[in-house]
Amino acid sequence: MPQKPKPYRRHLNSANDLVTTYEEVRAGFVALALERNRRSTPYVAEARALKAAAAQATTPTDLLTIPNLKPALLTAAGVSDKAKKHLQDADKVTVIQELLEKYLEPAGATFVEELVFRFLLTRGDTLGGSMRNIGGFMAQRKLTRAMIASLALAGIQPRWLPSSGKKSWHPVRVDNTDIEVQLRGLSWSKQGHHRTVIYNLQVPLIKKNVDLCLFDCEPTDLDTAKKVPDRYIALGELKGGIDPAGADEHWKTANSALTRIRNAFTKKGQYPKLFFVGAAIQNSMASEIWTQLDEGTLSNAANLTGSNQVASLCNWLTSL
């Protein structure tokens, strides 16, 4: 009886299929630029509101009399939202006073513009921090959308868990536009089997976060299941960064994580399926990934920029 083809063979013929092309790199950078613009919109709106409010002042000192302006003054002084929580009221007064005396008063008649510029500098740092994690976030979104599509084609209505911190699961409705932006988990039942996917979960067995875990459990049993090695069906590492310069480092990090997972579960006599999805895959790492696939060290892999590859991998994932 002929053996079934390995799952990765449904979308990969050789290591070359894993390599990210120049066109895909270019498209990835465009997507990042568009995402940066999307995320910057609230900060630009805040800056415009600040300019309109600050225009009421005739001198920098007058800014202190405008209601609800203190948080924006602290931001313009270089204090992040996180740092604000750790400052005493007296410290906040000192920081704002220094902003007025050292930067706004010397600006003369253009002190409002100086205030807005400094506000945007701090907000830019905030945006930069969030963008450092954007690759993984975009990878998660793409996989989520592909999994939901795969389940929909099979006539299965999954439930989803918002990333807001609430533990309530909701049905995925037919109109589920942008659901992937706020989703942390997905769950479904198929032929009497319950499956739950969770992103960015700290796995107790290895005491490290894993990008994606697929469990044999209902979502209500997740807290118990994550402590039981044989409830893990598959674990995967996602690397959504598109910059070719960081590709090798991303693979080294993911490969180390996958090796750590494999060793920990093997010691418990468990062999969950392991997979890798990356956006920036160069020739050398593609060869390494292909070797691991061929040897069975990895069960599946896909290039995130290849829609067919992602769809195939998610079809496999939702069929386990």
Q: How far is CA 125 from CA 34, 76, 82, 116, 147, in A?
A: 18, 12, 12, 15, 34
Last residue of a domain, one of 84, 111, 131: 131
What's the number of domains the chain is made of? 2
Is the per-residue pLDDT at 180 higher than 90?
no
The whole-number average pLDDT for the span 185-195 is 92
Q: DSSP assignment, residue 59?
A: S
* Residue 20, domain member (yes or no): no
* Residue 197, domain member (yes or no): yes
pLDDT in tens, 135-178: 778 888 899 999 999 999 999 999 999 987 667 898 888 788 88
Asked if residue 164 and residue 105 are part of one domain, the reply reads no
Asked if residue 73 and residue 212 are part of one domain, the reply reads no
Is the per-residue pLDDT at 245 higher than 90?
no
Asked if residue 301 and residue 183 are part of one domain, the reply reads yes
CATH number at residue 89: 1.10.238.90
pLDDT band, very low/low/confident/very high, at 1 (cuts 50, 70, 90): very low
* Residue 260, domain member (yes or no): yes
Asked if residue 264 and residue 204 are part of one domain, the reply reads yes
Asked if residue 288 and residue 179 are part of one domain, the reply reads yes
Asked if residue 76 and residue 49 are part of one domain, the reply reads yes
Is the per-residue pLDDT at 244 higher than 90?
no
Range of weakest confidence among 172-176, 194-198, 312-316: 172-176
Give me the residues paired with residue 235 across strands: 213, 274
Q: Tell me which long-range contacts 216-219 makes (C-beta under 8 A, separation of at least 24).
A: 218/187, 218/189, 218/194, 219/159, 219/161, 219/169, 219/185, 219/187
Residue 192 has a pLDDT of 86
* Residue 1, domain member (yes or no): no
Specify the higher pLDDT residue, 263 or 163: 263
Asked if residue 253 and residue 121 are part of one domain, the reply reads no
Asked if residue 127 and residue 253 are part of one domain, the reply reads no
* Residue 274, domain member (yes or no): yes
pTM of the full structure? 0.82
Asked if residue 247 and residue 163 are part of one domain, the reply reads yes
Residue 2 has a pLDDT of 53
Q: Which residue has the tokens 């700290």?
A: 202
For the chain, the distance separating the N- and C-terminal CA atoms, rounded to the nearest angstrom, is 22
Residue 130 has a pLDDT of 64
Percent of the chain with pLDDT over 70: 97
* Residue 28, domain member (yes or no): no
Q: DSSP assignment, residue 100?
A: I
Contact 199, 181 (CB under 8 A): no
What six digits make up the tokens of 155? 């006539």
Asked if residue 312 and residue 183 are part of one domain, the reply reads yes
Asked if residue 178 and residue 57 are part of one domain, the reply reads no
The whole-number average pLDDT for the span 192-213 is 94
pLDDT band, very low/low/confident/very high, at 243 (cuts 50, 70, 90): confident
The whole-number average pLDDT for the span 183-206 is 93
Q: How many residues does the chain have?
A: 320
* Residue 279, domain member (yes or no): yes
Asked if residue 101 and residue 112 are part of one domain, the reply reads yes
pLDDT in tens, 8-56: 999 999 999 999 999 999 988 888 888 888 888 898 999 999 999 999 9
CATH number at residue 293: 3.40.91.10
Quote the domain boundaries for residue 48: 39-131
